[in-house]
Amino acid sequence: MAQQTALPPAEQPTAPAPSRTSATDVAGLGRGRAAAFVAPAMLLVAVFLVFPALWTLYIGVTNYRLTGVQARTPEIVGVDNYVDALGDPTFHNALFLTLVFVLFSAVLGQNLLGFALARSLATLRPVMRRVVESLVLLAWIIPSSIVAFLWLALLDRDAGTLNALLQTPGLAWLIDYPLVSIIVFNIWRGTAFSMLLYSAALASVPPSQLETARLVGASRWQTLRDVVFPHIRGHVLTNTLLISLWTFNDFTPFLITAGGPNDRTEVLPVYIYNTAISGGQMGYGAAVSLIMLVINLIIALFYIRLLRERR
């Protein structure tokens, strides 16, 4: 940078100095005006991202509460919140539930179902394909609150659609199978993304390579293993990374089970909400949020590592 700013004056003497300031950028704006253009965006980023992050970092080391004395005069407690969280069985439970939730609903559920849908849709007639795609997409784009209401209606114990369909009156899905319910719900809700991504990925496999496999007599599974998968490997990892992170941070289960019954669906985002907002322990909640952020980073690094490896 220092070199760049130093260079122009050295070259200037030969040129007949066209303007007051020499613009080094392509658009010829100059530093001042360029900064002015970027400022509104930077301001928004600062207010909504940088400041909350720093604030979380700060209150994470305090005993700040939503109400009471500590709300007015929080005290610095150092790493106590972190130590508490890491030793807290309810936090362990939440972390475990989150990992199960991510593994079954995203890594396995959305991934496999999305891939299966993308692959079978490719052979369908265009009209049918549009219809199925639109339906799957609807599940994705309808607002969470509406979707949650639909699922409550579906799973209701007394008047639920599912009980009517399965002829199992009185079965309380959200009490007897709460984790399974939100896993199935999340698969239903998020598969559209995987389906779209895999549809695009599958379209990028050259037809001649698939036909070469057919000509040598490769089975479906062999074609998938030797031709299709190597081509879409990057897509699979990218997709798994994205849906893992989204699911990890997904708050929608709260709208269906609110973490219950008995904390059996209290995944980390719900746990944070329950402790920080409902329980009022803002400092503690902030500390858990930061731990969650670190876990997110670890997951992301893991996938990026895989992505970088050739083969």
Partner 1 sequence: MASIQLDGLTKVYPGDVRAVDALDLSIVDGEFFALLGPSGCGKTTLLRTIAGLEEATSGTVRIGDRDVTQLPPGKRELAMVFQDYALFPHMTVADNISYPLKIKGLAKPERLTKAVEAGEELSLGGLMERRPGELSGGQQQRVALARAIAVHPQVFLFDEPLSNLDARLRLEARTFLKRLQRELGVTTVFVTHDQAEALAMADRMAVMDAGKIRQVGTAREVFQRPASTFVANFIGSTPMNLLPGVVQGDGVDVSGQRIPMPADSREHVADGQDVVVGVRPEYLTLSQSAADGALHGVVAIIENLGTSALVTLEADGFTVAATVPDGEEPPIGADAWVSAAEGRTLVYRASDGELVDAPVAAAIA
Check residue 209 for interaction with partner 1 (CB under 8 A).
yes
Residue 217's SS3 state is: coil
The β-bridge partners of 62 are: 76
DSSP 273: I
Q: In this complex, which beta carbon is closest to partner 1, that of residue 31 or of residue 214? A: 214
Check residue 214 for interaction with partner 1 (CB under 8 A).
yes
Check residue 2 for interaction with partner 1 (CB under 8 A).
no
Please choose, out of 13-21, 81-89, 98-106, 219-227, the segment that lies near partner 1 by the rule CB under 8 A.
219-227
Contact present, 93 and 261 (Cβ < 8 Å): no
- Residue 170, sorted as left (phi over 0), alpha (psi -120 to 50) or beta, turns out to be left
Please choose, out of 28-36, 78-86, 110-118, 210-218, the segment that lies near partner 1 by the rule CB under 8 A.
210-218
Tokens of 38: 């970027």
- According to CB under 8 A, which one of 212, 220, 302, 304 is a site residue for partner 1? 212
Residue 266's SS3 state is: coil
Shortest separation between residue 176's beta carbon and partner 1, angstroms:
47
Q: In this complex, which beta carbon is closest to partner 1, that of residue 130 or of residue 214? A: 214
- According to CB under 8 A, which one of 8, 230, 234, 261 is a site residue for partner 1? 230
Contact present, 153 and 145 (Cβ < 8 Å): no
Please choose, out of 2-10, 90-98, 186-194, 224-232, the segment that lies near partner 1 by the rule CB under 8 A.
224-232
- According to CB under 8 A, which one of 120, 161, 222, 278 is a site residue for partner 1? 222
Please choose, out of 161-169, 207-215, 251-259, 266-274, the segment that lies near partner 1 by the rule CB under 8 A.
207-215
What are the DSSP calls for 275-288, one per residue? IIIIS--HHHHHHH
Q: In this complex, which beta carbon is closest to partner 1, that of residue 143 or of residue 217? A: 217
Phi, psi of 69 (to 5 degrees): -60, -45
The closest of 245, 283, 282, 250 to 267, measured between CA atoms, is 250
Contact present, 249 and 52 (Cβ < 8 Å): no
The closest of 254, 243, 300, 296 to 277, measured between CA atoms, is 254
Rounded Cα–Cα distance for residues 236 and 54 (Å): 34
Check residue 206 for interaction with partner 1 (CB under 8 A).
yes
> What is the chain's percent helix, strand, coil content, to nearest 5?
75, 0, 25
Q: In this complex, which beta carbon is closest to partner 1, that of residue 238 or of residue 249? A: 238
Which residue matches tokens 């639109």?
A: 134
Check residue 25 for interaction with partner 1 (CB under 8 A).
no
Contact present, 240 and 305 (Cβ < 8 Å): no
Q: How many residues bind partner 1 (CB under 8 A)?
A: 17
Residue 62's SS3 state is: strand
- According to CB under 8 A, which one of 61, 85, 227, 287 is a site residue for partner 1? 227
The closest of 277, 280, 238, 242 to 63, measured between CA atoms, is 280
Check residue 124 for interaction with partner 1 (CB under 8 A).
no
Check residue 226 for interaction with partner 1 (CB under 8 A).
yes
- According to CB under 8 A, which one of 211, 220, 261, 294 is a site residue for partner 1? 211
Check residue 203 for interaction with partner 1 (CB under 8 A).
no
Shortest separation between residue 76's beta carbon and partner 1, angstroms:
55
Check residue 122 for interaction with partner 1 (CB under 8 A).
no
- According to CB under 8 A, which one of 217, 262, 308, 309 is a site residue for partner 1? 217
Residues that bind partner 1 (CB under 8 A): 206, 208-209, 211-218, 222, 226-227, 230-231, 311
